[in-house]
Amino acid sequence: MTTAARTLPAHGTLHRRKTYKCDCEPCLAADRDYTNTRARLIAYGRWQPFVDAEPVRQHLRMLMSYGIGWQRVSRMAGVSNGSVSQLLYGSYNRGGSGPTKRVRTQTADKICAITPTLDNVAPSARIDATGTRRRLQALVANGWPQLRLGTQLGVHHRLTWGQIRKETVEGDTARQVRNLYNQLWNVDPATRGVHERYITQAKRIAAREGWVPPGAWDDDYIDSPAATPDLGEDVDRYTAIAEDAQWLIDSHGYTRQQAAHRLGITSRHLERALAHGRTKVAA
């Protein structure tokens, strides 16, 4: 019977130096940096080696709801899988102890520095297709034929149609569509050699399906399933923000701060929007 070899922590980490006594220069440098930082913070009366784990756990769950798995967070943050697993699920090796109650400040800072952005999603992770679908639909509404979009994406045009219909897409696909949208959203297809006949045909398909052009979407909200297109009506911006934020809070367990970050606004802006919404309801 054989056992899998243990994967050692990377060089240049305090964990490798302390646990495995590695004497390489990067590990020794990490040890010196930690010791110097600790001594300086103690001298200033600011040494706080541990913090409450619950806010960090909430941040992790929020990232996971966005399609960024905890093991990917572990790699991106430079934190061991074991530490993140115990933070979320506890340990079976210690009498079934529950999730970690306190976590090292440095670990908390590294994990909380990972943001819920499309660029941080793993290539094969399945995520909500709302933004991908809307971007493709908007390009078709602008006159871009699906055949041409498929060529630009390097896929068959039937796959482009399939992406429009899907509920989830892979992270890599979502990034490719976002990048293509950023390139083409304000470009006239005719200037790129698309025949007028096919431009007209694409626009007719979009009109029949009820797809709206890029101008109807705010870049900050195009990925939010709760968002609605602006078709020129007199829309109350604060009400729209409050509704989107409340959807994130109720459906995905976001805190207000996390919802504000996802919507690309400040926490103060969100608080004003929520207060505005409560005033409208009371009226």
Say what the pTM is: 0.63
Distance of CA 130 to the CA centre of its chain: 13
**Backbone dihedral angles phi then psi of residue 67, each to the nearest 5 degrees:** 100, 10
- Could you tell me the sign of the dihedral formed by the alpha carbons of 248, 250, 253, 255, in that order? positive
- Spatial distance between the Cα atoms of 244 and 150, rounded to a whole number of angstroms: 31
pLDDT at 223: 86
Residue of 191, 190, 192 lying closest to 203 (CA atoms):
190
pLDDT at 159: 67
- Spatial distance between the Cα atoms of 195 and 200, rounded to a whole number of angstroms: 9
- Spatial distance between the Cα atoms of 43 and 220, rounded to a whole number of angstroms: 44
- Spatial distance between the Cα atoms of 66 and 258, rounded to a whole number of angstroms: 12
pLDDT at 5: 47
pLDDT at 179: 94
Strand partners, 51: 103
Could you read off the pLDDT tens digit of each residue along the chain, which spans 283 residues?
A: 344 445 677 788 777 777 788 889 888 888 888 788 777 777 776 666 788 889 999 999 989 988 899 999 999 998 888 889 888 988 755 556 778 888 888 888 899 999 888 899 999 898 888 999 999 999 999 999 988 998 888 877 666 666 677 788 999 999 999 999 999 998 999 999 999 999 999 999 999 989 999 988 888 788 888 788 877 655 566 777 787 788 888 877 788 888 877 776 777 878 888 887 666 555 5
pLDDT at 181: 95
Residue of 89, 94, 97 lying closest to 70 (CA atoms):
89
- Spatial distance between the Cα atoms of 163 and 169, rounded to a whole number of angstroms: 7
pLDDT at 96: 60
- Spatial distance between the Cα atoms of 69 and 122, rounded to a whole number of angstroms: 8
Q: Is 102 helix (H, G, I), strand (E, B) or coil?
A: strand
Q: Rounded to 10 degrees, what is the CA torsion of 109, 111, 112, 117?
A: 140
Amino acid residing at 151: T
